[in-house]
Amino acid sequence: MVKSTLDKQVSSRLGEDDVRYTAGRREVVFALSEADGPRSAAELSEDLGPSVPLSSLYRTLAVLEASDILTPHFSSPGVTRYELAEWLNGHHHHLVCVACGQVEDVETDDEVERRLQAIVSGITKRSSFIESNHALEIEGKCQNCQ
Amino acid sequence: MVKSTLDKQVSSRLGEDDVRYTAGRREVVFALSEADGPRSAAELSEDLGPSVPLSSLYRTLAVLEASDILTPHFSSPGVTRYELAEWLNGHHHHLVCVACGQVEDVETDDEVERRLQAIVSGITKRSSFIESNHALEIEGKCQNCQ
DNA sequence: TAACATAATGAGAACCATAATCATTTAGGA
DNA sequence: TCCTAAATGATTATGGTTCTCATTATGTTA
């Protein structure tokens, strides 16, 4: 079996934490790498079918988050969606549909990202808050819901 | 009793929807107007004490959201926080503490906001997504949690 | 003002996403 | 191969939120 670059990165990262990269975890990582935005446990469970039971899925998501493979997102009420962490997936932002709740990734070019970072730095400069990350969430309606 | 401007605005907005501005709802609006960021039902309940029972509080939050008095935020897992809608509170952004979950409002001046809006427009221009709003969420550590 | 219709309230039960438990299975190292 | 620790999966528990329903309050009409 040929391991993809992603698989190698994840495997290596998990190895540092003495966490095993098992079949179920691999399936979850793969499903998320195929997705075009953050996915909830329920959505992933639909993608994955019964091969990964919900209780295992939730634990897998927690484990992968703890090792910084996944990042959680909270853009809709009562559900946590996960996506591959930025170091695996690249820095990007989100289009959040206020009608159906779906979240889609959008990339920005470096120039835009520099301008955005400048804005963020300007905002936090005068405060006692220490920034670790920023997220530009754009709310509106996706193509399906217009 | 002298009604504040906020009270008048809320009262008038609710009137358009044939929704009554009762004592409990007034308390919730007041508590949120005093807060320096979005507040969850649990946090509000602490502020308000037993005068507004939880079941009423949740319903009040839903009613006020439906009439666009309040806006929900989902920056931490499993909790919805509310704040006064932008037309009452002004446009602003959030500092989200990844340690304690507290969210603080930050204002930006018009120039910064114009630049931000330009970035957002640039992002959505090529997509089929119709933007209604944007939120810049800055994650990091608040003063208490550093 | 009195009676009525409708909205709002509050206590409690129900719900749902997620977390914890625990017995069983799997897998890496001696 | 054996042994020990990690992982799994079925189940149960938890906690935030919503629903139900009987009661109370309020605005309206006569």
- pLDDT per residue as tens digits for the range A100-134: 878 899 999 999 999 999 999 999 998 899 999 89
Q: Which nucleotide is nearest to B53 (CA to C1')?
A: C10
Tens digits of per-residue pLDDT, A56-82? 999 999 999 999 999 999 988 999 999
Q: Provide the CA B77 to C1' C6 distance, Å, integer.
A: 38
Minimum Cα–Cα distance from B128: chain A residue: A143
Contact (Cβ atoms closer than 8 angstroms) between residue B100 and residue B145: yes
Report pLDDT for A1. 47
Q: Whole-number mean pLDDT of chain B? A: 93
Minimum Cα–Cα distance from B92: chain A residue: A123
Q: Do B132 and A146 touch (CB under 8 A)?
A: no
DSSP at B128: S
**pLDDT above 90 (res B2):** no
Is any atom of nucleic acid chain D found less than 7 Å from the CB of residue B35? no
Tokens of B118: 């330009």
**Distance, CA of A143 to chain centre:** 22
- pTM higher than the cut 0.85: yes
Helices (H), chain A: 5-16, 23-34, 41-48, 54-66, 86-89, 110-125
Reported as type and span, the H/E element at residue B7 is: helix B5-16
Q: Do B129 and A136 touch (CB under 8 A)?
A: no
Q: Provide the CA A72 to C1' C28 distance, Å, integer.
A: 31
Q: Which nucleotide is nearest to A74 (CA to C1')?
A: C17
Handedness of CA A59, B72, B114, B127 (dihedral sign): positive
Residue with tokens 């992968």: A64
Average pLDDT over residues B26-36: 96
Report pLDDT for A121. 95
Report pLDDT for A3. 65
Contact (Cβ atoms closer than 8 angstroms) between residue A66 and residue A13: no
- List CB contacts of B107: < 8 A, sequence separation 6 or more: B90, B92
Percent of chain A at pLDDT > 90 equals 84
Q: Which bases of chain C are under 7 A from a protein CB atom?
A: 7-13, 16-21, 27-28
Tens digits of per-residue pLDDT, A21-35? 999 999 999 999 999
Contact (Cβ atoms closer than 8 angstroms) between residue A37 and residue A94: yes
Report pLDDT for B3. 65
Q: Which nucleotide is nearest to B55 (CA to C1')?
A: C10
Mutant choice from B79, B124, B130, B144 vs A, greatest count of A C-beta within 10 A: B130
Q: How far is B29 from B17, CA to CA, in rounded Å?
A: 17
* Chain B positions touching chain A (beta carbons under 8 Å): 72, 74-78, 80, 93, 95, 97-98, 104, 106, 108, 112, 115-116, 119-120, 122-124, 127-143, 146
Contact (Cβ atoms closer than 8 angstroms) between residue A103 and residue A94: yes
Q: How far is B2 from B7, CA to CA, in rounded Å?
A: 9
The tally of CA atoms less than 13 A away on the side-chain side of residue A129 is 29
Comparing C-alpha atoms, which of A55, A12, A6, A60 is closest to residue A33?
A: A6
DSSP at B49: G
Q: Do A129 and B140 touch (CB under 8 A)?
A: yes
